[in-house]
Amino acid sequence: MIHPSVLADEFSQRWERIRKSMLQQGADAMLVTDNVNLYYVSGRVFSGYCYLPADREPLFFVRRPVGLDGDNIVYIRKPEEIGDYLREQGLPFPQTLMLENDSITHNEFLRYEAIFKPATIKNGTAVLRSVRSIKTPYEIGQIRRSGILHAEVYAKIPSLYKKGMTDLDLSVEIERESRLLGSLGIFRIFGQSMEIFMGSVIAGDNADNPSPYDFAMGGAGLDDSLPVGCNGTMLEERMSVMVDLGGNFTGYMTDMTRTFAIGDLQELAYKAHETSIEIQRSIAEAARPGVPAKDLYNMAIEIAQEAGLGDYFMGHRQKAGFIGHGIGIEINESPVLAPRSRDILAEGMVFALEPKFVIPETGAVGIENTFAVTADGIEKLTLCEEQILPLG
């Protein structure tokens, strides 16, 4: 088997859920090729393909690494050999094939089309993202483990600060603590347009520098080739310092943001931070299976506006169009908590909620936590002090 044998049921369950969605759309087989999806269906990243028929066990066609062993593993050098193998084994070719049309390149699509020559190709990306949005208890366990280590790192932040640091200096020390606790570092993002290193430390008015990326916070970054996050700002009195680094301690991530202050901040900043906590409290009370994600977005906007803070909510010069996002192997899974989201909360979903404010002359304030949707509510997986803590 390609996965650890103790996880046989776990993976059988994942395959079965994918097959069920495939059958609903009349697909005979799916070819899984991208690393994130391969990890989901096999428990490991490998170079190769998972061929999952709707009515049979999957086959794993592996290019690298050498040495994997199992009766569902076939070594190949190129994807054309998948077709050869099906022919040799007398296995049927799919009439309706699913491909990851939102992650494979156009040229890859053409190559797979030529191999399988199916009558119809449907979009497997949507199926995989939908199935992956409902985490198994094992997956939630992985996220919980990331969350515990993530919180352990954040608890050290006040002790990492030293007077005279820049935002980069502080970020580096937090990154170091993360890595020493086993952070894998890598930050997986669906889609090609978003890029980030391990996350962001944003201090003072750098929070109001708009970014090209669709993250909730901006920041000018250190270079035009990666214009997001810390920009070398010297940390000074009356600045807020927002720390939003990924918790990538397993193949599953947590997302968590905490705000720190150097000296005293203006009153508006504390008020906005309290409003962030209030938004989280209200959403935590309302969120449960069956609740539309957009209702949670609207609830957040309403609370921010009632507090007179609408101008600062989710950015100032440039605003993010969401207040939360599904998270798992990637930072941007389903559901999305946005005004036009059609996602409905369901048990097993995991999302990050990040009601944040950008206050001119102070910086960003607010919190972010990762929650799992339970049978009758949501459970916080990132447990760490939420008040603004002083640095220095």
| Cis peptide preceding 65, ω within 30 of 0 | yes
- DSSP character string of 212-242: SS-SS-----SSTTS-SS---PBP-TTEEEE
Integer Cα distance of 27 and 269 in angstroms: 53
Integer Cα distance of 313 and 304 in angstroms: 7
Query: 96-99 and 29-32: which strand pairing?
Result: parallel
Closest contact distance (angstroms) between CB of 221 and its own copies is 8
Closest contact distance (angstroms) between CB of 345 and its own copies is 26
Residues 111-150 within binding reach of its own copies (CB under 8 A): 123, 125
Q: Which residue lies nearer to its own copies by CB, 35 or 266?
A: 35
Contact (Cβ atoms closer than 8 angstroms) between residue 240 and residue 269? yes
Q: Is 198 a residue that touches its own copies (CB under 8 A)?
A: yes
CA atoms 43, 188, 146, 352: torsion sign: negative
Q: Is 196 a residue that touches its own copies (CB under 8 A)?
A: yes
Largest CA distance in the chain: 73
Selected binder of its own copies within 10, 81, 152, 169 (CB under 8 A): 169
Distance (Å) of CA 322 to CA 14, 110, 314, 371: 29, 35, 8, 16
Segment contacting its own copies (CB under 8 A): 11-19, 103-111, 278-286, 351-359? 103-111
Residues 57-86 within binding reach of its own copies (CB under 8 A): 63-67
Selected binder of its own copies within 18, 50, 293, 329 (CB under 8 A): 329
Q: Is 233 a residue that touches its own copies (CB under 8 A)?
A: no
Selected binder of its own copies within 175, 205, 255, 354 (CB under 8 A): 175
Residues 333-392 within binding reach of its own copies (CB under 8 A): none
Q: How many residues bind its own copies (CB under 8 A)?
A: 65
Residues 17-36 within binding reach of its own copies (CB under 8 A): 34-35
Distance (Å) of CA 308 to CA 300, 304, 311, 320: 13, 7, 8, 18
Q: Is 197 a residue that touches its own copies (CB under 8 A)?
A: yes
Q: Is 89 a residue that touches its own copies (CB under 8 A)?
A: no
Q: Is 222 a residue that touches its own copies (CB under 8 A)?
A: yes
Residue 207, judged by CB atoms within 10 A of its CB (0-12, 13-18, 19+), counts as buried
Selected binder of its own copies within 1, 10, 25, 43 (CB under 8 A): 43
Q: Is 96 a residue that touches its own copies (CB under 8 A)?
A: no
Segment contacting its own copies (CB under 8 A): 150-158, 213-221, 269-277, 290-298? 213-221
Integer Cα distance of 135 and 251 in angstroms: 13
Distance (Å) of CA 167 to CA 164, 170, 310, 335: 10, 5, 27, 31
Residues 249-308 within binding reach of its own copies (CB under 8 A): 250-251
Selected binder of its own copies within 76, 134, 168, 284 (CB under 8 A): 168
Residue partners of 209: CB distance under 8 A and separation at least 6: 218, 219, 220, 231, 317
- Binding-site ranges for its own copies (CB under 8 A): 34-35, 39, 43-48, 63-67, 99, 101-109, 123, 125, 168-169, 171-173, 175-176, 179-180, 182, 184-186, 188, 192-193, 195-198, 209-214, 218, 221-227, 250-251, 317-318, 329
